[in-house]
Amino acid sequence: MGKVTFNMTMSLDGFVAGPNDSPEKGLGDGGEGLFNWYFSGDTEVYMSEGVPPLKVSKQSAEILKAGISMIGAGIWGRRTFDIARAWGGHPPGSPAFIVTHHVPQEWVKEGSPFIFVTDGVESAIRQAKEAAGDKDVVICTANILQQAVKAGLVDEIHVDVAPMLLGGGVSLFDHLNTGPIDLECIRVIQAPDVIHLGFRVVK
Ligand SMILES: NC(=O)c1ccc[n+]([C@@H]2O[C@H](COP(=O)([O-])OP(=O)(O)OC[C@H]3O[C@@H](n4cnc5c(N)ncnc54)[C@H](OP(=O)(O)O)[C@@H]3O)[C@@H](O)[C@H]2O)c1
């Protein structure tokens, strides 16, 4: 069985998007700088078929490629699915489990990379683990991470820290309201334009 991991890019003050995120401005006001590191290097990394490659530094490319090779399934919340306009049908991890209260019928069809889960995050993780087999399940949105952490279902938290303060927006650990949770630091890699941090959740 693989692990349940998490990965997103965060500003130093803890935001994964700026205020007023929308399909027109996916990372919110000022948030586009979070992803500078995806386009500021000279090493190509393909995230998914049909999507142009990222261009990152050598250090970041190694990390991304290792992570991609381990992805067996991904989980996102419905806001990101809508804001990303369903990634044009090419999610950055497949199969893609989308947690939502309302299934978008236009994506329920033969060959769709999406599986919509309406009975909660624990169910999404259970289904994603089955699909992933020996590989990892990666959670990629803040809201879903918070619920998964509360349920004690996350094994590793990987955060790519972008060198900026956003000052507001979507907070990665908003309203967690758990007691303290101990983490073991398993990775610190400084790359140009980003610092890759990894933690194991101590259970
Ligand atoms: N920095 C990065 O690396 C990065 C990467 C990806 C995305 N982003 C950005 O991060 C932000 C993510 O937003 P977010 O974390 O607030 O939202 P999210 O996780 O993408 O979506 C939250 C939505 O998922 C549905 N949902 C959540 N839990 C549910 C449950 N238990 N049962 C049924 N439905 C449930 C609800 O939508 P419904 O009620 O409408 O179904 C809820 O409003 C976006 O701005 C996105 O662009 C940043």
Mean pLDDT score, 8-23: 98
pLDDT in tens, 79-131: 999 999 999 999 999 999 999 999 999 999 999 999 999 999 999 999 999 99
Give the distance (Å) from ligand 1 centre to CA of residue 200: 23
173/35 Cα distance (integer angstroms): 19
Pick the residue whose CA is nearest to atom 34 on ligand 1.
100
CA angle 129, 135, 137 (to 5 degrees): 45
Half-sphere exposure of 194 (CA within 13 A, CB side): 26
Mean pLDDT score, 10-35: 98
Give the distance (Å) from ligand 1 centre to CA of residue 100: 9
Using pLDDT thresholds of 50, 70 and 90, give the confidence band for residue 1. confident
Q: Is 143 in the pocket of ligand 1 (CB under 6 A)?
A: yes
pLDDT in tens, 52-66: 999 999 999 999 999
In the three-class reduction of DSSP (H, G, I as helix; E, B as strand; rest coil), residue 160 is classed as: strand
DSSP string, 89-124: G--SSSSEEEE-SS--GGG-STT-SEEEE-S-HHHH
Give the distance (Å) from ligand 1 centre to CA of residue 116: 13
- Ligand 1 atom at minimal distance to the Cα of residue 82: 20
pLDDT in tens, 131-170: 999 999 999 999 999 999 999 999 999 999 999 999 999 9
Q: Which of 141, 150, 174 for mutating ligand 1's site (highest number of atoms within 8 Å of CB)?
A: 141
Average pLDDT, the chain: 96
pLDDT at site 48: 82
DSSP-derived secondary structure letter, 167: -
Rg (CA), the chain: 16
Q: What is the pTM of this model?
A: 0.97
